[in-house]
Amino acid sequence: MSKRVLLKELFASSSEYVGKDVLIKGWVRSVRKSKKFSFIVLNDGTDQDSIQIIADADIENYEALSTMLTGTSVSILGKVVESQGKGQSIEMQAVSGDVIGAVDESYPLQKKGTSLEHLRDIAHLRSRTNLFGAVFRVRHALAQATHKFFNDKGFYYLNSPIVTAVDGEGAGEMFKVSTLDSENLPKNDKGEVDYSKDYFGKDVSLCVTGQLEAECHALGLGAVYTFGPTFRSENSNTKRHLAEFWMIEPEVAFADLEDVAELSADYIKYMIDYALEHCSKELKFLHSMPFTDVEKNHVDTLIGVRDSKFKKITYTEAIDILNASGEKFEFPTTWGEELQTEHEKFLTDKHFKSPVIVTDYPKDCKAFYMKLNDDGKTVRAMDVLVPGIGELIGGSQREESLEKLEKRMEEMGMEKEGYWWYLELRKFGSVPHSGFGLGFERAIMYITGMSNIRDVIAFPRTPGSCDF
Ligand code: 4AD
Ligand code: MG
C-alpha cells in the first residue's frame, strides 16, 4: 500500500515524483469520458491546482471511475508523468482507483459557476470550490503569520475570556449569556431580572474585546497578544461587519502610541509578505476573479504596501483633507464628528491611495480607556485605514492615570464597580501602555480582495442569520 501524497507536496516537488507511482485521495471536480480513456480532475484541498488523471479503459474498475459525478471522493494510485497539456507541469496515469464516497445528482456544486450568495447557503460545502479553498488557505496562512510575527517579537499569546462581566468597549453592544428560563425570569423587588439566580450569579455577556484582560497581562508579562473570537450585537448589516468575528489584540507595556502605530504597520506588512510567500497561487487566482474588489495586479499593490512607510496623519488633518477635497459626502465632516466609511475610503482609495494611520481623535468618538491628550479634547487613538476596506485596526495609548480614567468613566456614565480590577492596574505600578485590535476577517478581505466579509469566515453570523 503506497502512502498518500498531498497535491501540495506533489506539485511543489513534481520533478522528484515524475516516473513514480503515487496514491492520491480527494474529491472529483470533473470527469470527461471518451471511448478509450477518461480525464479525471481531482482536488484534495491542499493546493490551488487540481491534478488531471488519465484513466485508460483497460484499468480495473474503469466503469466506476469513468462515471463518477462531481463531488465523489476517490483514491487513485497512478504514475506521475510530465504533462502534455498547457498550464500544468504534471499529470497522472491511473493504475487503479476506488470510489470512497459517491454523490447523488443533488450535489449542488456542479462545474458551472454558482453565485457567492448561493454558496453562503451551502457554506458546509463551499471549501470544496477553488474559490473558497483559496480563501481558507489564505486565512490559515495569515493566522500562522500572526503567531509567528508576535512570537518572534517576544509577545506572549494570551487566551482572554469569551464570557465576561464587563463591557470592554463601553458601547453596550453585547450578547447576553444566561441559563435563566426566558419564559419565567426571576425578578427582584424592583421588578428587574434577578441575575443573582443566573448561572454566574450576575449579568454576563460574550466579549466585545479581550483588551482589558490583555492590559492586565501586558502589565505583568511585558507584551501579550490575544487572537480569539469577538462578539458584537451592533445592528450593522454591511459587507464589513459580522456579529462574530476574530480579533488579534497586542498590548505592550512601556509603549506609547507611536510604538504601536509602528508595530501595526509592521504586522500588516508581515502578513502581506507571508501570504505572498505561502499563498502565491491562491492570491493570483483570487485577484483574477471578476467579483473580487481589486485589480488583477493587486499583488503588485500589496508588494508596494509591504515596501512602503505608512502615512500618518491626525484626525484634525484628516478633517482638513476631507473639507478641502470638494467631494460631496453623505455624512458631515465637521470637527468632532465620527469618520464614516465614506470618509475613510476617500482618504485611502482616492487621496493617499495607500494605507493611512489616523491618530488623535476627539475623545467623544472613542472608548473610555484612551489616554487624554493635553488639549483635553482629543485622545491618543489610532485607526489604521486601508484601501477598499476602511478601518482595519483600532488602537490607542491607554489612560494610565487612575484619576483621569475614573473621571472619564464617570463623565460617560459608566458603572465603575465591575471594572475594579482594571482600575487597580492604575494603582499598582501603572505604566504607559498601548495596544490595538486588528479585525482578522478585514485583513483577509484586504489581502484576498474578497468584497464581502461573509466570504472570508467559515460560517458567518450576521443580524438575522446564524446557520450551521
Ligand atoms: O476598533 P475596535 O472596536 O477596537 C477594539 O475592540 C479595541 N479593544 C482594540 C484594542 O485596542 N485592543 O475593533 C478593532 C477592529 C476594527 O478595526 C475592525 O477591523 C474589527 O476589529 N471589527 C470588526 N470586524 C468585523 N465585524 C465587526 N462587527 C467588527 N467590529 C470591529
Ligand atoms: Mg474602531
What digits encode the pLDDT tens for the residues 233-263? 999 999 999 999 999 999 999 999 999 999 9
Bridge partners for 253 per DSSP: 433
Out of 17-21, 110-114, 126-130, which region has the weakest mean confidence (pLDDT)? Answer: 110-114
442 within ligand 1 shell (Cβ under 6 A)? yes
The predicted pLDDT at position 1 comes to: 61
| Beta strand pairing call for 356-362 and 311-314 | parallel
Confidence band (pLDDT; 50, 70, 90) for 278?
A: very high
How many whole angstroms separate alpha carbon 376 and alpha carbon 373?
A: 6
The enclosing H or E element of 135 equals helix 130-152
The predicted pLDDT at position 34 comes to: 87
3-state secondary structure of 282: helix
CB 71, CB 40: distance < 8 Å: no
The predicted pLDDT at position 58 comes to: 94
Ordered domains of the chain (ranges, CATH) = 7-101 (2.40.50.140), 126-173+208-455 (3.30.930.10)
How many whole angstroms separate alpha carbon 461 and alpha carbon 454?
A: 8
286 within ligand 1 shell (Cβ under 6 A)? no
133 within ligand 1 shell (Cβ under 6 A)? no
- Which atom belonging to ligand 1 lies closest to the Cα atom of 437? 9
Q: How many CA atoms lie within 13 A of 228 on its CB side?
A: 20
Atom 27 (ligand 1): residue with closest C-alpha?
A: 241
| Tens of pLDDT, residues 177-194 | 999 999 999 999 999 999
3-state secondary structure of 101: strand
The residue behind cell 501586558 is 218
How many whole angstroms separate alpha carbon 387 and alpha carbon 84?
A: 42
Burial category of 29 from C-beta neighbours within 10 Å (exposed 0-12, middle 13-18, buried 19 and up): buried
| Tens of pLDDT, residues 58-103 | 999 999 999 999 999 999 999 999 998 776 789 999 999 999 999 9
210 within ligand 1 shell (Cβ under 6 A)? no
How many whole angstroms separate alpha carbon 355 and alpha carbon 68?
A: 48
Residue 291 has pLDDT above 80, yes or no: no
| Tens of pLDDT, residues 355-403 | 999 999 999 999 999 999 999 999 999 999 999 999 999 999 999 999 9
Residues in CB range of 240: below 8 A, 6 or more apart? 341, 389, 390, 442, 445, 453
The predicted pLDDT at position 130 comes to: 95
Burial category of 466 from C-beta neighbours within 10 Å (exposed 0-12, middle 13-18, buried 19 and up): exposed
| Tens of pLDDT, residues 405-436 | 999 999 999 999 999 999 999 999 999 999 99
Q: Which three cell numbers stand for residue 71?
A: 463531488
The amino acid occupying position 362 is: P
354 within ligand 1 shell (Cβ under 6 A)? no
Ligand 2 centroid, distance to 394 Cα (angstroms):
4
The predicted pLDDT at position 296 comes to: 81
CB 377, CB 362: distance < 8 Å: yes
